[in-house]
A and B are shown apart, each in its own frame.
Chain A
């Protein structure tokens, strides 16, 4: 059986045919079956299959973007639970970007951050305050709420504000390492949450525990964006930008500096890498992704309060990074998708199925045992299993390999050019 499978998948042509067949089948399943969560998940799974195919990189990117931007939304739009699917897609996009941000801090620069959700909160509140009546309670000038068109500017503003908070967190924690760093960042996350929860007096900035409601939805050339299917594209767009930034930085001077600091601080300094600047850059850039998605989150929910930004959420983002594979970009994306889908789809579906069992067959399961309520236990077990059996995560990090033959050639060419230059110099 496995031999047959291997034979089938050996040639590129077969791979393409099988891949198209897979997408078609799962798409048809999603199209025809009512309430076809499994078909939807399998369709998303095609992205992972795509990752392992032997296409060239550009073809993979184009196919992936076409599937996610056109095929998935198109097929899902014929399903009854269209908005639910798109909601899941939006959440995956939001958390993927956040996990990629945390991956810069934890995976690349090796700085354990347990309060990462704070930056998400900062981004969310920066849009929420100004896109609702809240700002008029303490701002002496201007008319609030700001119109929905400012949403697009606020994505940048959210990123900048979060980056500034990233630096604010970074400055005091640069002196501590390891466990101490984890504790300080945890404290920072809690401080931000508690501040947001209490900044309704003496000046009412965040409206305290009441939260900020009726946030203006974004406006795109006169179209008001309110549904999940529309937010899906916003999240997807930002997600693509984030991937681009991460991939370019990873193999740049800055990316190498991060990894060098992670692997050996003393040696990195001896090689001329400024420790403070490099670490702050990691905090700021990682936080900015989170801030951008915070703005999207606030606009999507139209309501924010401090309960969305608890320590549990920070842990969830960290779980995504560790589950996927620290430092591995595809791994972290997969990790984020797996955690979100587990949380929003799989566990709820199992819970629903169990409760229907109890009504249909009279098998009663106490509600305390429903999987939905055991999220923490399940994620805890997952982490333990991964720590024991797959420490590198789902898709382990691999360093980018260079083409040695090409380097050899280039090196010979350069040597020849040097020789020519020196011999030319002596002749003249």
Chain B
């Protein structure tokens, strides 16, 4: 088994803006119930829109000047809207779950394998 972060991207012009929209989305509720019942969900959050984002850059390497800017990292048309953490046997199974997340048809879903760490914070495997 491996864990996969499912990153939910939306077109910036069609980003849902209020908590109400998030809470009352029947499609997300349906995915939450299905994936929750299957026991594959390990976490996940909806994110506030890109106007609420702050980007941090440290210039000149570790310990350098911390530059904080308003807005998301990429001024792209598509923005990260939230994520799920899903545990699956392999990438095909992860894709099967990812393709059921409403963002897959309203925007897109990016699947990233999670780097496994042990308790000491070292990469495993």
Bind each other: no
Interface residues of A, Cβ cutoff 8 Å to B: none
